[in-house]
């Protein structure tokens, strides 16, 4: 990650490899957003003329590059669209992020936009992410320093916070982007351990023998068809005098082939099926780095859903950690099976709140599109998490758990079945399934991040193609909300 330096907003000498300014949408063409005085001074009337020539509109994701040809102390000016409101924090994050996506080879980039330093730093760091681990000859030019306007202790605190958040998002993106031939339950557990130990956290990894001893029938059932056995990772952060105790649970399917109910579409996207697990691992590390006064325990089940000779079958009945029995109607509804066990285990600690995140259903993408997280659960806690996530810049929307959908999960032979006989309300049905494993008095929320976790389309704002880090900022913000 590049370093972030602060420079008083009033500084008018600008030396950098590139300078980013904002453009705001306005009647009769874009205007330059506040914060660019020094740039306007250096370039004079030429700047407005250049914007008119280039027909800059200021719409989001419009990024225009202008070489300064010796007229300014920086060789490249980048004008990024902020939309209608330059005071909206998320618009600034996205605009700055979109600009930084095009500048990953420029050593030093200065952002000249009048916005809180933490907002600019977060957008810039999120946008400057690149996944190069598998490139045999990665570009050696690299962004090393980002300068944002601001000064003083408050500004330094904001930037430090942005670094923690962006670092957590980048860690999730790296894990999701890592291909499933290298990221499988054992190696994923190893990466989780390294991240957690680096954050000073206690880690416990249950291997397949420990899972059998612990009667984790859901995790073992789903993992049975893979040559790579499942794991359950437990990470704990225990500060002195916590104000609340939160359990985090995330779906860690390192690859979802569908199992014997083999997928017939989009299987190549299913390396992202551990995005919820990665989000929880990174979030607990971030909560520790921020030293929040909230106790957090992450319970993360990891399995590969494959159709090998030992695979679980449609019509199998699995017995879970908490004694519940589940008839397998479809081996491709595997996430809820590993999560049932993990939620039951997490609840044994008696937490005050539960947050679970998973790439659980294609129905989420049908209902809300690829960018909006669906939130289900106990209404008050669900709404608190939605509000925290929205304030942090993630799109999260509350969804109901209609009573009439629950009987569809009744099984004639077991306590419940993992799918209903039709497609209706698939995201909500999955929420009902999870609810069965949550103790009655525990406030819980389920975040379905199936679409948002993995961007299959063009990059936008600070969001790259591939792993996005969806959910992390919502979880951190929800824990911060409890910290007060
Ligand atoms: N991992 C998938 C859900 C998914 C779909 C994630 C698209 C990301 C993008 C999940 O395990 C799954 O296969 N769900 C099934 C459930 C169905 C069998 C009830 C689905 O959504 O089709
Ligand atoms: Mn599946
Ligand atoms: Zn899945």
- Other Cβ atoms within 10 Å of 465 Cβ, number: 14
pLDDT digits (tens, 9 = 90+) for 275-313: 999 999 999 999 999 999 999 999 999 999 999 999 999
pLDDT digits (tens, 9 = 90+) for 200-242: 999 999 999 999 999 999 999 999 999 999 999 999 999 999 9
Q: CA geometry: angle at 452 spanning 446 and 457, to 5°? A: 165
What is the pTM (predicted TM-score) of this model? 0.98
Closest atom of ligand 1 relative to the 261 alpha carbon:
18
The domains of the chain are located at 3-151, 167-483
Catalytic residue among 163, 231, 336, 406: 336
Nearest protein Cα to ligand 1, atom 13: 332
Distance between Cα 335 and ligand 2 center (Å):
6
Q: Tokens 């045999």, residue?
A: 136
Q: Tokens 């509804």, residue?
A: 333
> How far, in Å, CA of 185 to CA of 233, rounded?
10
* Ligand 1 proximity of 332 Cβ (cutoff 6 Å): yes
* Ligand 1 proximity of 363 Cβ (cutoff 6 Å): yes
Catalytic residue among 215, 263, 371, 465: 263
Contact present, 463 and 455 (Cβ < 8 Å): yes
Distance between Cα 364 and ligand 1 center (Å):
9
Distance between Cα 432 and ligand 3 center (Å):
17
Distance between Cα 333 and ligand 1 center (Å):
6
* Ligand 1 proximity of 226 Cβ (cutoff 6 Å): no
> How far, in Å, CA of 398 to CA of 76, rounded?
43
Contact present, 379 and 256 (Cβ < 8 Å): no
Closest atom of ligand 1 relative to the 361 alpha carbon:
21
**Assigned CATH topology for domain 167-483:** Aminopeptidase (3.40.630)
Distance between Cα 410 and ligand 2 center (Å):
20
Please give the structure tokens belonging to residue 94.
Answer: 């996205």
Q: C-alpha dihedral over 159, 165, 171, 174, to 10 degrees?
A: -80
Adjacent-strand bridge partners of 318:
326
Nearest protein Cα to ligand 1, atom 3: 361
Closest atom of ligand 1 relative to the 263 alpha carbon:
13
Closest atom of ligand 1 relative to the 272 alpha carbon:
8
Distance between Cα 472 and ligand 2 center (Å):
22
Contact present, 175 and 191 (Cβ < 8 Å): yes
pLDDT at 28: 85
Distance between Cα 473 and ligand 2 center (Å):
25
* Ligand 1 proximity of 370 Cβ (cutoff 6 Å): no
263-290 burial, b for 16+ CB within 10 Å, e for fewer? eeeeeebbbbbbbbbbbbbbbbbbbbbb
Contact present, 462 and 127 (Cβ < 8 Å): yes
Low-confidence residues of the chain: pLDDT under 50: none
**Assigned CATH topology for domain 3-151:** 3.40.220
Closest atom of ligand 1 relative to the 258 alpha carbon:
13
140 is catalytic: no
- Other Cβ atoms within 10 Å of 76 Cβ, number: 18
Closest atom of ligand 1 relative to the 253 alpha carbon:
1
> How far, in Å, CA of 153 to CA of 312, rounded?
56
25 is catalytic: no
Most ligand 1 atoms within 8 A of CB, residue of 267, 332, 420 to mutate: 332
pLDDT digits (tens, 9 = 90+) for 43-85: 888 898 999 999 999 999 999 999 999 888 999 999 999 999 9
Most ligand 1 atoms within 8 A of CB, residue of 263, 362, 447 to mutate: 362
In 15-150 the beta strands, taken as DSSP E runs, fall at 18-24, 31-32, 63-67, 76-83, 108-111, 145-149
* Ligand 1 proximity of 206 Cβ (cutoff 6 Å): no
Most ligand 1 atoms within 8 A of CB, residue of 222, 268, 361, 450 to mutate: 361
In 91-244 the beta strands, taken as DSSP E runs, fall at 108-111, 145-149, 202-206, 231-237
* Ligand 1 proximity of 449 Cβ (cutoff 6 Å): no
CA 22 to chain centre: 26
- Other Cβ atoms within 10 Å of 19 Cβ, number: 29
> How far, in Å, CA of 18 to CA of 27, rounded?
28
Distance between Cα 332 and ligand 2 center (Å):
4
End-to-end CA distance of the chain: 29
Nearest protein Cα to ligand 1, atom 17: 333
């Amino acid at each position: 990650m590049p370093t972030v330096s602060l420079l008083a907003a009033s500084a008018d000498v600008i030396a950098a490899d590139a300078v980013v300014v904002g453009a705001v949408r306005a009647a009769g063409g874009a205007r330059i957003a506040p914060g660019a005085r020094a740039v306007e001074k250096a370039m004079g009337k030429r700047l407005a003329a250049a914007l008119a020539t280039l027909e800059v509109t200021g719409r989001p994701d419009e990024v225009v590059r202008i070489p300064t040809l010796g007229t300014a102390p920086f060789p490249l000016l980048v004008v990024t669209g902020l939309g209608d409101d330059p005071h909206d924090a998320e618009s600034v994050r996205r605009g700055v992020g979109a600009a930084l996506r095009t500048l990953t080879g420029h050593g030093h980039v200065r952002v000249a936009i009048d916005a809180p330093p933490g907002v600019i730093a977060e957008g810039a760091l999120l946008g400057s992410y690149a996944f190069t681990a598998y490139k045999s000859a990665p570009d050696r030019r690299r962004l090393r320093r980002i300068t944002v306007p601001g000064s003083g202790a408050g500004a330094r605190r904001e930037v430090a916070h942005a670094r923690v958040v962006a670092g957590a998002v980048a860690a999730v993106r790296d894990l999701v982007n890592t291909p499933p031939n290298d990221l499988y339950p054992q190696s994923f557990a190893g990466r989780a351990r390294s991240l957690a130990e680096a954050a000073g956290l206690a880690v416990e990894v249950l291997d397949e023998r420990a899972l059998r001893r612990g009667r984790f029938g859901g995790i073992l059932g789903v993992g049975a068809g893979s040559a790579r056995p499942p794991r359950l990772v437990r990470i704990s952060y225990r500060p002195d005098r916590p104000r609340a105790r939160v359990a985090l649970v995330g779906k860690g399917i390192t690859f979802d082939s569908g199992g014997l109910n083999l997928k017939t579409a989009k299987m190549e996207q299913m390396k992202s099926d551990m995005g919820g697990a990665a989000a929880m691992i990174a979030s607990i590390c971030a909560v520790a780095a921020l030293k929040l006064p909230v106790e957090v325990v992450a319970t993360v089940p990891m399995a590969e859903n494959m159709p090998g000779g030992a695979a679980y079958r449609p019509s199998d009945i699995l017995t879970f950690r908490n004694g519940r029995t589940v008839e397998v109607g479809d081996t491709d509804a595997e996430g809820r099976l590993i999560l049932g066990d993990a939620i039951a285990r997490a609840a044994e600690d008696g937490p005050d709140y539960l947050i679970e995140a998973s790439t659980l259903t294609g129905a989420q993408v049908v209902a809300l599109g690829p960018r909006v997280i669906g939130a289900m659960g106990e209404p008050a806690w669900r709404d608190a998490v939605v509000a925290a996530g929205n304030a942090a810049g993630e799109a999260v929307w509350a969804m109901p758990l209609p009573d009439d959908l629950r009987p569809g999960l009744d099984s004639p032979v077991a306590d419940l079945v993992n799918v209903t006989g039709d497609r209706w309300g698939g995201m909500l049905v999955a929420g009902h399934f999870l609810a069965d494993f949550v103790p009655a008095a525990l406030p819980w929320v389920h975040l379905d991040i199936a679409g948002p976790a993995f961007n299959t389309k063009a990059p936008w704002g600070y969001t790259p193609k591939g792993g996005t880090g969806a959910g992390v900022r919502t979880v951190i913000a929800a824990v911060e909300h409890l910290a007060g």
